[in-house]
Amino acid sequence: MEKISIIVPCYNEEESMPLFYKEICKVADEFKKVDFEFIFVNDGSKDRTLEIARDLSKDDKRVRYISFSRNFGKEAAILAGLDYSVGDYVAIMDADLQDPPSLLHEMYDGIKNDGYDCVATRRVSRKGEPPIRSFFAKCYYKLINKISKTEIVDGARDYRLMTRQMVNSILELKEYNRFSKGIFSWVGYETKWLEYKNVERVAGTTKWSFWKLFLYSLESIVAFSTVPLAIASIMGLIFFLVSFIMIIFIIAKTLVVGDPVAGWPSLVCIIFFVSGVQLFGIGFIGQYLSKLYLEVKGRPVYIVKETEKGKK
């Protein structure tokens, strides 16, 4: 019998988990000829998430769980889930029911009958989100798609169903700085997009502050584009050309009208401006260098403390 693995990253989700479990069971029972496994990834929660996962796995053989030694972030939780999953098809779903489990039917159908390798979801509305956040999100997607060859779809969620073949390809990407939205797109394959309106969380609060999202977006730019590095060199070239023209102009001017001392304020402005640009360029290089540093260290993306089979 075919099996679908459902990966659920959980960070302080004690309130949502039971609700989620109820919903997903309802949907799973509607599938007649498919087996399921639910993999809850406890990402270092400080509440009762782990205990709930333990209890669920005791009562239901389909429930598996992985518990990290600390909070490693959602990207790490997704990777751990993919590593541990054994299903022929793998889905990633939030614990807060913002990803409607009922869509699984349509996803499975898209892969089984329409021959897609992956059926993914994107939100078409951002209802319930602060307007300022929506605005920055729009700008971000415009920017990243200009400077990256990998397409990052606006409003794409991590919620998707993939074939085992695609999951194996994703697992071949061993990078430490993981940006799933980019990785899913980078590996290729045929993806069908389902659109749906934003659903608000059933319980608990979002784990993403504006600042966290901002850093995350910066990380994705460094992970999927090298254009900022090119910008630094292009700016350097422009400044070199400008200064060259200025030097010729000044020499010519001195030869013609002599050299009355003037221009001190403008000089200071230029020094400030140029050093600002230099720092900007160095800053960008630093971003790439820091990522490179983390990659080279080769640290594991996550550390597992316990699974449904017991302590590691």
Residues in the site for ligand UDP, rule: CB under 6 A? Answer: 9-11, 13, 43, 71, 73-74, 77, 94-96, 98, 206-208
Q: From CA 132, how far away is CA 137, in angstroms rounded?
A: 9
Which residue, 47 or 109, has its beta carbon nearer to Mg ion?
47
Name the nearest CA neighbour of 180 among 137, 219, 133, 127.
219
Q: Supply the minimum distance, in Å, between the C-beta of residue 201 and Mg ion.
A: 5
Q: Supply the minimum distance, in Å, between the C-beta of residue 95 and Mg ion.
A: 8
Q: Supply the minimum distance, in Å, between the C-beta of residue 46 and ligand UDP.
A: 11
182 binds, among Mg ion, ligand UDP, none (CB under 5 to 8 A by kind): none
Which residue, 24 or 232, has its beta carbon nearer to ligand UDP?
24
Which residue, 199 or 270, has its beta carbon nearer to ligand UDP?
199
13 binds, among ligand UDP, Mg ion, none (CB under 5 to 8 A by kind): ligand UDP
75 binds, among ligand UDP, Mg ion, none (CB under 5 to 8 A by kind): none
Q: From CA 264, how far away is CA 140, in angstroms rounded?
A: 40
Q: Per the structure block, which two tokens stand in for 179? A: 């940006």
Name the nearest CA neighbour of 6 among 147, 31, 179.
31
Which residue, 94 or 117, has its beta carbon nearer to Mg ion?
94
Which residue, 98 or 191, has its beta carbon nearer to ligand UDP?
98
Q: Supply the minimum distance, in Å, between the C-beta of residue 50 and ligand UDP.
A: 13
208 binds, among Mg ion, ligand UDP, none (CB under 5 to 8 A by kind): ligand UDP
Number of residues this chain uses to bind Mg ion (CB under 5 A): 3
Q: At CA 270, angle to CA 264 and CA 276, rounded to 5? A: 140
Of positions 13, 14, 15, 96, contacts Mg ion by CB under 5 A: 96
Helix (H) or strand (E) holding 272: helix 264-297
Q: In this structure, are strands 34-42 and 63-68 parallel, antiparallel, or unpaired?
A: parallel
Q: Supply the minimum distance, in Å, between the C-beta of residue 95 and ligand UDP.
A: 4
Name the nearest CA neighbour of 59 among 303, 264, 310, 308.
308
Residue 267 burial (C-beta neighbours within 10 Å; 0-12, 13-18, 19+): exposed
Sheet holding 156-163, edge to edge: 191-196, 118-123, 156-163, 89-92, 2-10, 34-42, 63-68, 304-307, 310-311
| 98 contributes a contact to Mg ion by CB under 5 A | yes
Q: Supply the minimum distance, in Å, between the C-beta of residue 157 and ligand UDP.
A: 8
Long-range contacts, 282-289 (Cβ 8 Å, 24+): 282/232, 284/228, 284/229, 284/231, 284/232, 285/229, 285/232, 287/218, 287/222, 287/228, 288/222, 288/226, 288/228, 288/229
For residues 12 and 46, the answer to whether their CB atoms sit within 8 Å is yes
Q: Supply the minimum distance, in Å, between the C-beta of residue 94 and Mg ion.
A: 5
Q: What radius of gyration do the chain's Cα atoms show? A: 25
For 66: left if phi > 0, alpha if psi spans -120 to 50, otherwise beta; the answer is beta
| 180 contributes a contact to Mg ion by CB under 5 A | no
166 binds, among Mg ion, ligand UDP, none (CB under 5 to 8 A by kind): none
Which residue, 54 or 229, has its beta carbon nearer to ligand UDP?
54
Select the span of 6-14, 94-102, 263-271, 304-312 touching Mg ion (CB under 5 A): 94-102
Which residue, 64 or 157, has its beta carbon nearer to Mg ion?
157
In the complex, the residues that contact Mg ion under the rule CB under 5 A are: 94, 96, 98
